[in-house]
Structure formats: C-alpha cells, structure tokens
C-alpha cells in the first residue's frame, strides 16, 4: 500500500471514539503542492485573449488543452466544460488553474493574469429566457428540457367546471452552506490517478475522470474522506474540482490539493433552483376540485446539470398529497447566464410543495372554508393513484398524523383564536424515496458487497457516503441485526472505488431504503452460509414486481415508495419591525421503522431548520449574473437561537419492502416547512404570501399597502 494510502487509511474504529477525522484540507502529503482557480468575472462573453505573467519556477498553468480526451462533464445533457474553452457563460466559471508550492504566490499569479473578454448579451432571468425574440444561449429553445403529462380526462373535466382559482408562486436560490467547502487532493503515481475528497458520489467522479482522461477504470481510484456536510452540493459539482485536482497532479507528477475558500465556493457551486410555479384549479358547482393545471418553470443557470431530474420531481408533485383525478402538467428548466443550479436537499420538492400547499390555502380562503378541513377531503389513500397514475400500494396514515399534530399544537383552536399579527399554519407533504421512475433498475443497477472474514467479522462495501446522516451507523446496524452478531463485529469504511461496487449515489433519500435493503438481503444470504470460514456476497438491486413506469409518457410509479409528513408553525409578527418570531414548531413524520432514533432526531431537527431558513431568511439574489450575498456575513442562515425547539413524533407504519420496515428520511424534513411558515404568516396578516423567503420588507408592503 502506498504512503498516501496509509495517510488516509481506511476508517479506524478508534476514530469513532476519539472523534478525530482527517479532512481533505488536513492532508499533508510528501511533496504536496496546491492549486488555485481563475474564474470568469463576466456572465457571458467570448474569451479573446489570456495574458499570463512570467511564471516562477515550479509553477504551472492547467487549462482546457491539458484535458486529453473530452472537455465535458458527464452528467445528463453533457454540455458543461471542465475548463472554459473560448467562451464563459456565468460568473465564477473556471477558466484555468495555477499550480505550485506556495498558496500566496498562487494568489499573486491569479491577480496578475488578465483576460480580455468580448461581452455578449446575457440572459439573467426566467422571464428574459422566455422572450421569443431573445438571443438564446443554446439552440432554438430557451430551455434545456421540457416535460409534460396528463392524468384522467383533463379537457372534459374543465368543460364541466364552473370556477377557476389560479395562483402564481415564486421561490429563490438557496445555498447549501455546508461547513466544509469543496476540497480535493489528486495523486498521480504508478500510472494511476487517485482522487481523495469531500463528496457524495464517488462514481460520478470516476465517470468524470474517464471522460476527461479517456482512461480505463483500472487506472482510476476515487476515495471519499470525512465530509463536512453536503446537502446535494457535493453530488454533481465535485466532478469538476475532482478532475481539476487530477489534471494538476498528472501534469506536475506531485500530489495536488485544491480547496475552495468560502466566497469562491458560494460564487461557483450549484444552488437550489429558483422557480415560478403557476397553478389553476377547476371547481364544479359544489366547490369540488375536479381538475388542476400546473406550469413549473425553473432557472437552471448556464448549464443543464441535474436540472432535468430536479424538474421531474417538481412536476411529479403537481397535486401534492391530494387525489386530484384530472391533471395537466408542464415543466421547463430555462437556460440563463446565472450560476448553475443543481442538487439540494428535497430536490425540487420544496418549491412545488410551497406552491401546492399555499394554493390549497387560497382555495379554502376563496371558498370560505377551513383550509385543513378542505385538505382532508382530498388526501390520497392506499389504492389511489399518484399524479403520474402509479398506485399507492401501502398504508397512508395522513389523517392520523393530522389528528396527532392538531392535538400537539392546538392548531384548530389557535387558528380561530390567535390575536392580531399572530398566526398558525399547517402543511402536508411527501418525499419520494429513491430515483424517479425505473432509474434504480435501468440506470443505476446498484450492487453491494459483504465479506465474512476468518475472524467472523463482516465488512460492508458500498459506494454510499457518510455525509453527516449516519450511514456508517445505520447500514452496519442493519447487517448486524440480520446476522444476529454484535455491532462491533461489523466494519464499514468511507467508500473507495477500488474496493466498493457502485451501489448508486448518496442522494434521493435512497441509501437506507434501497441500499439498506440490498444489504439486508445480502446478510440473509450470508447467514445461510455462516459456517463457511471466509466468503463474499454480491447483492444486486431488484426492481419490485408491483411497480411499473413508462419513461416516455411519464406514467406509472414515479418512486419506489414515499415518506410522509405534517408540519405546523406558529408565528408572532412585530408590528414595528415586521420581524417574525416563531413561537412553536411541530412535526409528525412517517418514515416507516426508524433504524436509529438519535440519527433520526438529528436529521429531522437539522432539516426542519434548513427549511425555516429557506422560508424566512436565506435571501440570495443575483444582479447582472453576480450573486450579491457571497459570504456568511451577507448570506444569513439560521442559528440555534433563531427558532424554538421542534416538537416531533414518528408515525408507526413500517414499510414491508424496507430494511426492518424503514423508509427514506434525509430529505423529507426540509420539504414541507416553507408552506407551514408562509401559511402562518398569511393567517397572521390576512394577505397572500406568494414568494419565499418572506422578508420583513415584504411583510411591511403587504400590511401597509396590501401588495
């Protein structure tokens, strides 16, 4: 084993006791040098000339000419270059790297490089992208992808309607704000490149290296190091700095460390998609909702990235948790010259559920009925079909969950009795667990590996990463419980692609439910052979027989299964400053059977606070393509003192096809917070809330001027 491998040795159980961890920025390898990125300062421009200063000895430039194979990041549409080549399309796009032994010298060289741009007219909003006479960035259409589908007989239903209620809602950017910035080390030796770093998806980086280098996978190794948070921001984006670190190491023959500073991280990395969502509900003469039309528009930024998949989740949520029989749904991700948007916890769900839940609030208001009672009438139940026509095969206990949260929070009583500028709001929501449609089977084809050693210990080999959500604990507990052995005899380390099969990315609330189930099945097979001294089990994902999906028509089971939630938020608004004080927070979740209740508590509390930040204070604006809040002193995120402690409970409803009855959890807590918060404010001020975050200046305008 090489010296660098020793320095990032496979996870030692003693580390679990001492709490020590070696992050990418902590690595101090023999001969280690550093890299710094030159980034675009224009939202859209041709690169006419790059003037470099005289380079000191030991310093080199890495640009697109150093990429031997293809200068394209392999995501979905494959349109984004690893390094700009003749044109830049957003502020922060990487143009070249400067590599050398002294960080201060690197900064000086970056400052001395001059780039002569020929500015092009940028597209800076969804509205600008929609203008038919605009100079589009790519091709003839202003969007990267468009999806549309229908359910039932929409045209017939709207002909029989007597009333239309319509709304438009807007959501903004959100920064993942992970504690550890993007951070990687590339090490080229013995004709093999190894990339160590902070990541969610090691095999995404493997694919990126194969694309850029044209090398066989046998010459590529990707190893996750302890990772200080991700929230989606380390799903697709690390393919870019991971390849950058590799290119620098290959060119210099030395290990190269690439660590972003915070401002650079905020400017350059992907964000949650801003959205405009228009909803129309068609009602009959009795006030019953008989049809709904949804139009979802999202700002993808300068490149397609994962926007097509984010959009799928957004449009699949077109009717929320409600059984609307007739639907017409359309969605587009628009190309702009803003920062690229991508994966973020909830993955399109928070935008849609904010719109859907507020729309239901408004329907109730215009009908003069209680909103929670209206929502109860349409709740989906076992045997109903989803927006895409997939059948709900398992028990859905939303009614019981609403009863329980009403009892805990006093929602019904308070809704009628709270005083001036005081309000309470409720949201009901789900999150689909696993990849959309049949992607788990058709695209991922995931595998896990279990090994029994001679000393009767068992090792887990999966590519799913520990990013603070407890994977190293929960997956080990599943295997130990299945084998009926002490947890101490099960070993699981941070993923290394030389040892771990591709069990899919750590996204989509899939790790526990999908990968955990594969490990449970593998452990069952191992238990039957336990008398053998040493052997391995490889388990592949099996698509459930009761699911179907048509990817062209977007019909069938959009997800393998769902987790469910109900939130209540109570607020008190200051009449002078319009600051919102949150007086109470309540939540009920159905995540099946919890594998580890302490981990569940951490995920629920953290996700809920992240959702409150999205709803209330995380303002991130772009002006002329430049993000205006680019530090933690200007981009505000919640602290522990901003909100009261969340009171939450779990619904007892085991999922038969999950490991020990578990469903996915990680994303669910963030999905439904914004509409509960916004509806509480709407209840308090008596004016509609149509955008988030709900800032004090917005409230002042609404209260004092009604708009």
pLDDT, residue 131, reads 87
Is residue 462 within 8 A of residue 500, CB to CB? The reply is: yes
Is residue 33 within 8 A of residue 100, CB to CB? The reply is: yes
Q: How far apart are CA 681 and CA 345, in angstroms?
A: 24
Q: Which of the two residues, 7 and 683, has the higher pLDDT score?
A: 683
Q: How far apart are CA 573 and CA 578, in angstroms?
A: 6
Q: Report percent pLDDT > 70 for the chain.
A: 96
Do 36 and 113 share a domain, yes or no? yes
Report yes or no on 676 lying in a domain. yes
Report yes or no on 638 lying in a domain. yes
> The CATH number of the domain where 75 resides is what?
3.90.1170.50
Express each pLDDT in 310-333 by its tens digit: 999 999 999 999 999 999 999 999
Report yes or no on 504 lying in a domain. yes
Do 586 and 636 share a domain, yes or no? yes
Report yes or no on 579 lying in a domain. yes
Express each pLDDT in 10-41 by its tens digit: 333 334 556 678 999 999 899 999 999 999 99
pLDDT, residue 706, reads 79
pLDDT, residue 4, reads 31
Reply yes or no on whether the pLDDT at 345 is more than 60.
yes
Report yes or no on 681 lying in a domain. yes
Which of 451, 627, 640, 658 shows the shortest CA–CA distance to 536?
A: 451
- Domain membership of residue 248 as a residue range: 20-120+197-217+229-258
Do 519 and 578 share a domain, yes or no? no
Report yes or no on 4 lying in a domain. no
Express each pLDDT in 401-457 by its tens digit: 999 999 999 999 999 888 899 999 999 999 999 999 999 999 999 999 999 999 999
Report yes or no on 279 lying in a domain. no
Length in residues, the chain:
707
pLDDT, residue 420, reads 92
Q: How far apart are CA 233 and CA 230, in angstroms?
A: 5
Do 697 and 593 share a domain, yes or no? yes
pLDDT, residue 17, reads 54
Express each pLDDT in 545-556 by its tens digit: 999 999 999 999
Is the pTM for the entire model greater than 0.75?
Answer: yes
Do 414 and 485 share a domain, yes or no? no
Q: Where among 540, 572, 602 does a domain terminate?
A: 540
Do 421 and 494 share a domain, yes or no? no
Report yes or no on 188 lying in a domain. no
Do 650 and 686 share a domain, yes or no? yes
* Torsion region of 705: left, alpha or beta (phi above 0 gives left; psi -120 to 50 gives alpha): alpha
> The CATH number of the domain where 694 resides is what?
3.30.365.10
> Which DSSP category does 645 fall into?
P
Do 116 and 247 share a domain, yes or no? yes
Do 60 and 115 share a domain, yes or no? yes
Do 516 and 423 share a domain, yes or no? no
Do 405 and 486 share a domain, yes or no? no
E strand or H helix at 307, and its extent? Answer: helix 307-316
Is residue 278 within 8 A of residue 168, CB to CB? The reply is: yes
The stretch 621-628 carries a mean pLDDT of: 97
Q: Where among 540, 573, 606 does a domain terminate?
A: 540
Number of domains in the chain: 3
Do 444 and 425 share a domain, yes or no? no
Q: What are the C-alpha distances in Å from 463 to residues 170, 187, 498, 506, 507?
A: 36, 20, 10, 8, 12
Pairing assessment for the beta strands 275-283 and 163-171 based on DSSP bridges: antiparallel
Express each pLDDT in 525-548 by its tens digit: 999 999 999 999 999 999 999 999
């Amino acid at each position: 084993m090489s010296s660098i491998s020793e320095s990032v040795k496979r996870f030692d159980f003693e580390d679990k006791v001492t709490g020590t961890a070696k992050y990418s920025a902590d690595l101090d390898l023999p001969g280690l040098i550093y890299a710094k990125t030159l980034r675009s300062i224009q939202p859209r421009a041709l690169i006419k000339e790059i003037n470099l200063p005289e380079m000191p000895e030991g310093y080199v430039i890495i640009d697109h000419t150093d990429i031997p194979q293809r200068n394209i990041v392999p995501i979905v549409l494959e349109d984004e270059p690893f390094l700009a080549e003749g044109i830049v399309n957003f502020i922060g796009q990487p143009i070249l790297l400067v590599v050398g032994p002294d960080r201060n010298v690197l900064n000086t060289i970056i400052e001395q490089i001059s780039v002569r741009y020929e500015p092009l007219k940028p597209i800076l909003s969804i509205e600008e992208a929609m203008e038919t006479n605009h100079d589009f960035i790519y091709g003839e259409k202003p969007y990267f992808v468009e999806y549309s589908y229908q359910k039932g007989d929409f045209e017939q239903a709207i002909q029989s309607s007597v009333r239309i209620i319509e709304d438009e809602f807007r959501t903004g950017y959100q920064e993942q704000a992970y504690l550890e910035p993007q951070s990687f080390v590339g090490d080229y030796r013995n004709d093999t490149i190894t990339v160590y770093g902070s990541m969610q998806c090691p095999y995404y980086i493997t694919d990126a290296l194969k694309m850029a280098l044209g090398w066989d996978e046998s010459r590529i190794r990707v190893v996750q190091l302890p990772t200080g948070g991700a929230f989606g921001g380390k799903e697709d984006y690390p393919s870019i700095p991971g390849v950058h670190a590799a290119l620098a190491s290959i060119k210099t023959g030395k290990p190269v460390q690439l660590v972003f500073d915070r401002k650079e991280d905020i400017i350059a990395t992907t964000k949650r998609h801003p959205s405009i969502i228009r909803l129309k509900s068609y009602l009959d003469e009795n006030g019953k909702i008989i049809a709904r039309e949804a139009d979802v528009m999202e700002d993808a930024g300068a490149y397609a990235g994962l926007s097509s998949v984010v959009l799928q989740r957004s449009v699949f949520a077109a009717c929320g948790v409600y059984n609307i029989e007739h639907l017409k749904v359309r969605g587009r991700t628009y190309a702009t010259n803003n920062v690229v948007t991508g994966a973020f916890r909830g993955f399109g769900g928070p935008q849609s559920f904010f719109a859907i839940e507020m729309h239901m609030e408004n329907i109730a208001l215009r009908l003069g009925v209680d909103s929670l009672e209206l929502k109860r009438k349409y709740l989906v139940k076992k045997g109903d079909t989803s927006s895409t026509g997939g059948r709900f095969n398992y028990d859905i206990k939303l009614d019981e969950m609403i009863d329980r949260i009403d009892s805990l929070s006093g929602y019904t009583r308070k809704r009628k009795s709270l005083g001036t500028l005081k309000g309470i709001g409720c949201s009901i929501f789900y999150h689909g667990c696993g990849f959309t449609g049949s992607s788990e089977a058709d695209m991922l084809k995931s595998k896990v590996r279990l090994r029994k050693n001679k000393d009767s210990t068992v090792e887990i080999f999966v590519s799913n990463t520990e990013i603070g959500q407890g994977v190293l604990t929960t997956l080990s507990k599943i295997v130990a419980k299945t084998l009926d052995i002490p947890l101490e005899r099960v070993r699981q380390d941070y993923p290394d692609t030389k040892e771990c099969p591709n069990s899919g990315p750590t996204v989509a609330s899939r790790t526990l439910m999908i990968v955990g189930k594969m490990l449970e099945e593998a452990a069952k097979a191992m238990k039957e052979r336990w008398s053998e001294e040493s052997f391995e089990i490889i388990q592949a994902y099996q698509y459930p027989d009761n699911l179907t999906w048509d990817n062209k028509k977007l019909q069938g089971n959009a997800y393998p299964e769902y987790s469910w939630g109900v939130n209540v938020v109570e607020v008190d608004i200051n009449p002078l400053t319009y600051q919102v004080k949150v007086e109470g927070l309540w939540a009920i979740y159905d995540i099946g059977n919890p594998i580890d209740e302490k981990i569940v508590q951490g995920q629920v509390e953290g996700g809920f606070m992240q959702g409150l930040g999205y709803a209330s204070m995380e303002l991130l604006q772009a002006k002329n393509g430049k993000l205006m809040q680019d530090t933690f002193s200007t981009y505000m995120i919640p602290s522990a003192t901003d909100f009261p402690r969340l009171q939450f409970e779990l619904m007892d409803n085991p999922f038969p096809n999950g490991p020990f009855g578990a469903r996915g959890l990680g994303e669910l807590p963030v999905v439904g917070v914004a509409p509960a918060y916004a509806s509480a404010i709407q209840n308090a001020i008596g004016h509609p809330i149509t955008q988030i975050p709900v800032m004090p200046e917005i409230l002042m305008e609404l209260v004092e001027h009604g708009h």
